[in-house]
Structure 1
Amino acid sequence: MTLNFSDILQESLLSIQNASKNPYGFVGLPSGLKDLDNTLCGFDNSDLIVVGARPAMGKTGFLLTLAINMAEREIPVLFYSLEMSNPQIVNRMLSNITGIEGNKLSSGRMSEEEWENIIKVGKEMGKFPLYLTDKCDWKIEDFCKKVREDVEETGAKIIFIDYLQLFSTRERLQNRYEEVALCTRELKLLARELNLPVIVASQLNRNVENRTTGIFREKMPQMFDLRDSGTICDDANVVMLLYRPEYYTRSSEDENGNDIRGLAEVIIAKNHMGREDTIRLKFSPETGKFEDWKSYEPEVPFINRPNYEETLDNFDSLSSPF
């Protein structure tokens, strides 16, 4: 549909005005990670956001942390896992929130205090607007149809997918490169159609490990490391790459003697609405939780903030600068 420029300008100015009134200071959905939000200004509707990482970097934990942070803020979340079952995802979430190590949850060998914590957190999580699907053999065409139905049923505001390379397609294509390219294109079109952020995890190829210069910084991922298709970074509005220097150095310090225990870097390699940057986060491999590297003042309790839905409903009532 072709629109008059003046109408589009009016809508953009209202959106900027809405951001100034929003308690988060931006119109995108908050990640719950302050430094990440300061750079991205939240996750924007219609964006395809790719999170790339090698194994053991925590990409599933990163997606779960974001999903939990949003669900805690009463933002309806759809989470699709093509790799793990729903009970496994829930256990990961319980570990993330309680701080109880995953192996304890799997074995059930916990102290009385830990059991009480699990029960308390479980009751709170039961109120989260969080919806899980763990089907593992999706054709991308069937998946997009399912997402449309789920969004209509749940009113979800954001979609998480773990992970891209597990999709296949009904199309007869020449190679895997073309297949993954079609999948990313379909996810991009889905984000545009539903006007929601779609966050999808992606594997990286082995080039990262094969770099043999001996300098651990050479192990940092780059966009061309995204596995199976060069079109992933073309279709994505935002590309984030996870990197844990402690994992590659096998040391608690970097080359300058700085403490890197638990350090995870989120390399924002592409950001269509802002700057590229590298965000430092704390990562706990035992619980899969990501947190801000620096300490910040606690957020204003959400019970005292304007209702998220009301903020959106009142969008059209904001006064125009014209």
Structure 2
Amino acid sequence: MRLSAPIYHLKRKAKRLSREQGIPLHDALDRIATAEGFPAWSMLAAKAAAATPANRLFPQFRPGDLVLVGARPGQGKTLMSIELAVEAMKAGHRAAFFSLEYTERDVLNRFRAIGANPAEFDQLFEVDCSDAISADYVVKQMAAAPRGTVVVIDYLQLLDQRRENPDLTVQVRALKSFARDKGLIVVFISQIDRSYDPSIKPCPDLDDVRLPNPFDLKLFDKTCFINDAEVQFRVAS
């Protein structure tokens, strides 16, 4: 199944249609579903839930992996990372989301945006929005995390903001070593430079990652870049 846009974009489109035409939201959702080739929204949602990019990508991750998820704003990099965490928890693993960008409420709202109920994962998921987040902080908080835990860090570039923190390469190397020692999967959300031009290539890549300071991108084992409905996954050579 290939939708014209990610499902959360389609939901936004339906809400806009509902407001503009004064129709119930469920009718607007069904109209969007019809345009995508489904008789009803419920069938589109069920099909999408069974075939998300995260559903396909997560089985390719291995304990110890360092993963980069990159996209321009509004393209779904945060939602993709949360979907990966949900896939881990469906498989019985734990997940943690460290954010220097969002509040806990923001993160939980993004669960709902992908059709997941955070209450289902109450004992498996934790959110940490401390201003002190750094590599050392994450290592300390995750010291007792079991093998297979997915750790999402939102986002890469913000680790480089505080002058008292080591430079970004030092921090990512520390997290890479920690992930391998503990058997964790660490997912970094990343900004993409404004110079990225989707008319030249369908998805950004490592060359488009925004880097205020020099950083060794070869530290990542796997990458996932997103633009519109396009998702490109690569394993480092």
TM range (shorter): 0.5 to 0.7
* RMSD of aligned residue pairs (Cα, Å): 3.0
The corresponding residue for 1:249 is none
CA contact (8 A) 2:54 2:84 kept: no
Q: CA shift at 1:130, angstroms?
A: 1.2
1:183 is aligned to 2:167: no
Alpha-carbon distance between aligned partners in 2 of 1:93 and 1:37, rounded to the nearest angstrom: 15
Alpha-carbon distance between aligned partners in 1 of 2:112 and 2:149, rounded to the nearest angstrom: 22
| Equivalent position SS for 1:267 | strand
1:136 is aligned to 2:135: no
1:157 is aligned to 2:145: no
Q: Deviations over 1:211-257 (max 9, x none)?
A: 4xxx724463121111215644210001111111xxxxxxxxxxxxx
Q: How does 1:275-286 map to 2 (within 5 A)?
A: none
Relative to structure 1, the CA distance from residue 47 to residue 65 in structure 2 (aligned partners, 3 Å threshold; closer, same or farther) is: same
1:235 is aligned to 2:219: yes
Letter aligned with residue 94 of structure 1: R
Q: CA shift at 1:69, angstroms?
A: 2.6
Aligned positions, number: 186
Q: Deviations over 1:93-121 (max 9, x none)?
A: 123226xxxxxxxxxxxxxxxxxxxxxx4
Q: Deviations over 1:56-104 (max 9, x none)?
A: 1111111111212322332211221221111221122123226xxxxxx
CA contact (8 A) 2:64 2:179 kept: yes
Q: Deviations over 1:9-63 (max 9, x none)?
A: xxxxxxxxxxxxxxxxxxxxxxx75766667742101110111111111111111
5+ residue gaps in structure 2?
1-49
Q: Deviations over 1:135-158 (max 9, x none)?
A: 134233233222224x16xx7622
Letter aligned with residue 149 of structure 2: K
CA contact (8 A) 1:59 1:242 kept: yes
| Equivalent position SS for 2:178 | helix
Q: How does 1:85-234 map to 2 (within 5 A)?
A: 85-97=103-115, 121=117, 123-126=119-122, 128-149=123-144, 151=145, 157-168=149-160, 179-208=167-196, 211=197, 216-218=199-201, 220-228=203-211, 231-234=215-218
TM-score after normalising by structure 1? 0.50
TM-score after normalising by structure 2? 0.66
CA contact (8 A) 1:162 1:201 kept: yes
5+ residue gaps in structure 1?
1-31, 99-120, 174-178, 245-263, 274-322
Letter aligned with residue 230 of structure 2: E
| Structure with the greater alpha carbon radius of gyration | 1
